[in-house]
Amino acid sequence: QVIIDTDKSSYSLRLIIWTNVSVCIFLPFSPASLPKEAAVRIISHALFLFLRVSGGFSETYAALCDYNGISCKEEVQWDVDTIYHSQDNREFNLLDFSHLESRDLAVIVASMAYNTWFTKLYCKDLRIGSEVTEQVLHTISKSSSLEEITLENAGLKSDFPQKMSAALSENPASVIHSLNLAHNSLDNQGITKHEFLLLLGLEKLVSLSQALCSSDEYSNSLLHLDLSKNPGVLSGEDNLYLFLSQPNCLVHLDLSGTDCSVDSLFGALLRGCCADLSFLNLSKNSFSHRKVKDTLPLFRQFFSSAFSLTYVSLASMKLPPDVLRALLTGLTSNPHINDLHLDISSCELRSAGAVVIQELFPRVSSIATLDISDNGLDADLLTVLPALSRHPSLKHLHLGKNFNIKNRCCQGSLSRFTAVIYGCALQSLSLSDSRLRSRGTVLVNALGSNTCLRKVDLSGNNMDNIGAKMLSKALQINTTLRSVTWDRNNTSAAGFLDVARALEHNFTLQYMPLPLSDISQAYRSAPERTEQALTKVGIADLINVSLVCNRAAQWFGGYRCRLAVRKSPVCVSFCMDGWLATEHLHFCLSCFNAFKAFIHQVL
Ligand X SMILES: *[C@@H]1O[C@H](CO)[C@@H](O)[C@H](O)[C@H]1NC(C)=O
Chain contacts with ligand X (rule: CB under 6 A): 28, 228-229, 256-257, 281, 283-284, 311, 313, 435, 460-462, 464-465, 477-478, 488-490, 492, 503-507, 509-510, 517-518, 521, 543-544, 546, 566-567
Nearer to ligand X, 158 or 544 (CB): 544
Tell the smallest beta-carbon distance from residue 266 to ligand X (Å): 18
CA 30/CA 598 separation, integer angstroms: 9
HSE (side-chain half, CA atoms, 13 Å) at 275: 10
**Toward ligand X, which CB reaches closer, 84 or 496?**
496
Residue 98: CB minimum distance to ligand X, A = 38
Residue 44 vs 169, nearer CB to ligand X: 169
Residue 305 CB, nearest approach to ligand X (Å):
23
CA angle (483, 487, 491) in 5-degree steps: 120
Beta strand extents in 64-110 (DSSP E only)? 91-93
| CA pair distance 98, 36, nearest whole angstrom | 40
| Least distance between ligand X and beta carbon 97 (Å) | 32
Q: Label the pairing between strands 120-124 and 428-430.
A: unpaired
Q: Write out the E strands in 69-119.
A: 91-93
32 vs 543, beta carbon nearer ligand X: 543
Least Å distance, CB 491 to ligand X, is 7
Q: What angle do CA 439, 443, 445 make, to 5 degrees?
A: 105
Nearest to 447 by CA among 488, 478, 487, 489: 478
* Upstream peptide bond of 569 is cis (omega within 30 degrees of 0): yes
Q: Minimum CB separation from ligand X for residue 426, in Å?
A: 20
CB of 77 to ligand X, least distance (A): 21
User: In one letter, which amino acid is 125?
Assistant: D
Q: What's the CA angle centered on 526, arms 522 and 529, to 5 degrees? A: 100
| Euclidean distance between CA atoms 404 and 410, whole angstroms | 9
CB nearer ligand X, residue 73 or residue 469: 469
Q: How far is the CB of 505 from ligand X (least distance, A)?
A: 6
Tell me if 14 sits within 8 A of 25, measured CB to CB: yes
Using CA atoms, how far residue 591 sits from 24, 122, 240, 563, in Å, is: 5, 36, 50, 12
Q: For the CB of residue 448, give the shortest distance to ligand X in the complex, in Å.
A: 10
C-beta closer to ligand X: residue 14 or 124? 14
Task: Give the nearer residue to ligand X in terms of CB position, either 248 or 492.
Answer: 492
Strand order across the 252-254 sheet:
224-226, 252-254, 279-281, 311-313, 340-343, 367-371, 396-398, 428-430, 455-457, 483-485
Strand partners, 252: 224, 279
User: Could you tell me what percentage of the chain is helix, strand and coil, using 3-state DSSP and rounding each to the nearest 5?
Assistant: 45, 15, 40
- Pick the closer one to ligand X by CB: 409 or 477: 477
Smaller CB separation from ligand X, 336 or 566: 566
